[in-house]
Chains A and B, each alone.
Chain A
Amino acid sequence: SQQGEEDPQALSIQEGENATMNCSYKTSINNLQWYRQNSGRGLVHLILIRSNEREKHSGRLRVTLDTSKKSSSLLITASRAADTASYFCATDPRVFRLVFGQGTRLTINP
């Protein structure tokens, strides 16, 4: 079964708007990661946030982590057409493996 659940499953916004995706997980974690996947290709690592961190930034990305609620959010600011992709959160409930959520499919409309 999946450890993470992303919400929403699909999101469509206009270019320039901000996109927010949420991830909830079930068990305690060491860190949480976000990945992007373009149309059936390999995943690209975006950001890693450790369990003792609450917020992390990387360029136009902002990730928050609330371990008390077992949830995380990914914010993409000033979206671009190239941001169209599926976004996955991944947790490490057990050492040496990642467990992925079902993903959020993001579409940026020009």
Chain B
Amino acid sequence: KAGVTQTPRYLIKTRGQQVTLSCSPISGHRSVSWYQQTPGQGLQFLFEYFSETQRNKGNFPGRFSGRQFSNSRSEMNVSTLELGDSALYLCASSSASGRVAEQFFGPGTRLTVL
């Protein structure tokens, strides 16, 4: 099976712009989670989707949003970018429908905000 893929791998944006990141989960996985990783805050949970429904959301401002499509692919959007949004954004998929189980991570998208 192909692993979790994320596009693009690298992105450079300027403050005030918006960005959309994409994640394709492992075939058959219906749960997709997003995490932000920074040197200062570490790995922080953004949101989780299952069958197009957001089941949980982390403590991030409304500028961060996401969605999941019927084929389980997911996108996250960050509007009005700030310098502090520079981070590695990781997507993970899981086959579990209930409680959290093993997560399979993609390689991440490195976002730099100038």
Interface: A70 (CB within 8 A) = no
If over half of B's interface residues share one DSSP class (helix, strand or loop), that class is named, otherwise mixed; here it is: strand
Interface: B2 (CB within 8 A) = no
Stretch at the interface among A52-60, A71-79, A93-101: A93-101
Interface: A92 (CB within 8 A) = yes
CA distance A40 to B43 in the complex (A): 12
Could you give, for residues 71-100 of chain B, a 1 whenever the CB lies within 8 Å of some chain A CB and a 0 otherwise? 000000000000000001010100000111
Q: Are A100 and B42 in contact (CB under 8 A)?
A: yes
Count of B interface residues, CB-CB < 8 Å = 28
Please, could you name 14 A-B residue pairs with CB atoms under 8 Å apart, sorted by A? Answer: A2-B42, A30-B99, A31-B101, A33-B103, A35-B103, A35-B105, A40-B88, A44-B105, A45-B103, A48-B102, A88-B43, A95-B100, A97-B56, A98-B100
Binding site for A on B (CB under 8 A): 4, 31, 33, 35, 42-45, 48, 50, 55-56, 58, 88, 90, 92, 98-108, 110
Binding site for B on A (CB under 8 A): 2, 30-31, 33, 35, 40-45, 48, 88, 92, 94-103
